[in-house]
Amino acid sequence: MNKKVQLQDLGRKDYKVTWDYQEELFKKIVDIKIQNRKDDAVLETPNYFLYVEHPHVYTLGKSGDMSNLLLSEKQLEVKGATFYKINRGGDITYHGPGQIVGYPILDLENFFTDIHKYLRLLEEAIILTLSEYGLQSERSEGETGVWLGVGTPFARKICAMGVRASRWVTMHGFALNVNADLGYFDNIIPCGIKGKAVTSMHVELNKQVDEEEVKSKIVKHFQKLFEAEII
């Protein structure tokens, strides 16, 4: 079992370009697994953790409802945003500057074969990171992601999650609002959940937050929770 995870920070990159790159890495891992089964071989499968920041973009998961996008094609253009229907779980979300997006592309057979556990550990890495900034976050029952103020009239989502898994290989991941412009969320019904707000670390802390510092904290907790070796 290969628990080494290659960390790559792609900087700011177009959503479609990054999606294509994810698919390339995903296919590479799956192809090795197929070859191993065919030849009764034991070639190691690699694991990756991609960090990226996207220009303004809305993405709709495979089970999502198109009506949760509240903009026409022309309005998207005016806002300088793009839109993609994609192959992850979940409904609609927004990505943009000031948001940390993480895409773990893992062969879960190197770690454990449990998608539920995988999602809960991703959430836990974010919860532990936020706690280092004095932000008490938690899960909301039946709603993937990380929230503040659960059980109060002021429940607000700070981190969205949506993944795809096939042959125990994962792609897509999480999007944590750090210094994000929350105005862009007004153009959608985030994750298809009506009546719940979205927030960002800089709003909760009333200051700009060092994104590189947040990234390093997430990786630290990810490494410990997954018993991984980051390379």
Q: Is 41 annotated as a binding residue?
A: no
**By the 8 A CB rule, do 108 and 168 touch?**
yes
Annotated binding-site residue? 90? yes
How far is 228 from 33, CA to CA, in rounded Å? 20
183 is in an annotated binding site: no
81 labelled binding-site residue: no
Helices (H), the chain: 15-39, 73-78, 115-131, 201-205, 211-225
Choose the catalytic residue: 191, 198, 219, 228. Answer: 191
Residue type, 38: K
- Binding residue per annotation — 11? no
> Is 159 annotated as catalytic?
no
Residue 92 annotated as binding site: yes
Query: Is position 228 annotated in a ligand binding site?
Result: no
Using a 10 angstrom Cβ sphere, with 0-12 exposed, 13-18 middle and 19 or more buried, the burial of residue 66 is: exposed
CA 162 to chain centroid: 6
Binding residues for substrate: 88-95, 160-162, 173-175
- Residues annotated as catalytic (active site), given as ranges: 191
Binding residues: 88-95, 160-162, 173-175
